[in-house]
C-alpha cells in the first residue's frame, strides 16, 4: 500500500474537523468512544495480548481522554519501519504540536 503525494496534498488542503469542540461527534468519539473501544479490546482480549500491548492500549485510551500530544511515528522506529505510510504521517504531524483533541479528525481516526 502506498499513499500518493497528490493525496497527501489534497488532505492538507481540506478544512480541518477537530475534536476540541464540545458536544460534537468528533469530540465525543475522541474522548469517549475510541477510548472505550480500546478498553473493551483489552477487556475482551487481554488473555491473548502481551502485558506490553495491554499497557500501550490502555495508555492510548488515557492519552485520548487527557488530550496528550500525538506521538510522531518516529517515536516508535521499529513499528514505523513496517508501515509504508509512516513517512507521510510524520510529514503531516511534525512540528504542529498536535494533541488528540486538536488534531485534524482525519489523523485522529487513523
Render pLDDT for 48-67 as a digit per residue (tens, 0 to 9).
999 999 999 999 999 999 99
- Domain residue limits, the chain: 18-109
Tens digit of pLDDT for each residue in 71-86? 988 999 998 899 988 8
Of residues 106 and 39, more confidently modeled: 39
pLDDT of residue 31: 94
Task: With CA atoms as reference, report the closest residue to 61 among 31, 22, 26.
Answer: 31
- Other Cβ atoms within 10 Å of 56 Cβ, number: 15
How far apart CA 63 and CA 76 sit, in angstroms, is 16
Whether the CB-CB separation of 13 and 92 falls below 8 Å is answered with: no
Q: How far is CA 109 from CA 8, 47, 51, 64, in A?
A: 16, 26, 25, 11
Instruction: Provide the 3-class DSSP secondary structure of residue 32.
Output: helix
Percent of the chain with pLDDT over 70: 96
Q: What is the DSSP letter of 20?
A: -
30 contacts 100 by C-beta, under 8 angstroms: yes
Q: Does residue 1 carry a pLDDT above 70?
A: no
Note the CATH number of domain 18-109. 1.20.930.60
Amino acid at each position: 500500500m502506498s499513499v500518493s503525494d497528490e493525496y497527501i496534498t489534497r488532505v492538507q488542503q481540506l478544512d480541518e474537523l477537530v475534536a476540541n469542540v464540545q458536544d460534537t461527534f468528533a469530540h465525543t468519539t475522541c474522548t469517549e468512544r475510541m477510548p472505550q473501544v480500546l478498553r473493551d479490546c483489552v477487556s475482551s482480549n487481554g488473555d491473548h495480548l502481551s502485558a506490553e500491548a495491554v499497557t500501550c492500549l490502555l495508555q492510548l485510551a488515557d492519552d485520548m481522554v487527557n488530550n496528550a500530544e500525538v506521538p510522531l511515528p518516529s517515536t516508535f522506529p521499529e513499528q514505523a519501519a513496517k508501515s509504508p505510510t509512516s513517512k507521510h504521517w510524520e510529514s503531516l504531524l511534525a512540528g504542529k504540536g498536535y494533541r488528540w483533541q486538536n488534531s485534524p479528525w482525519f489523523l485522529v481516526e487513523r
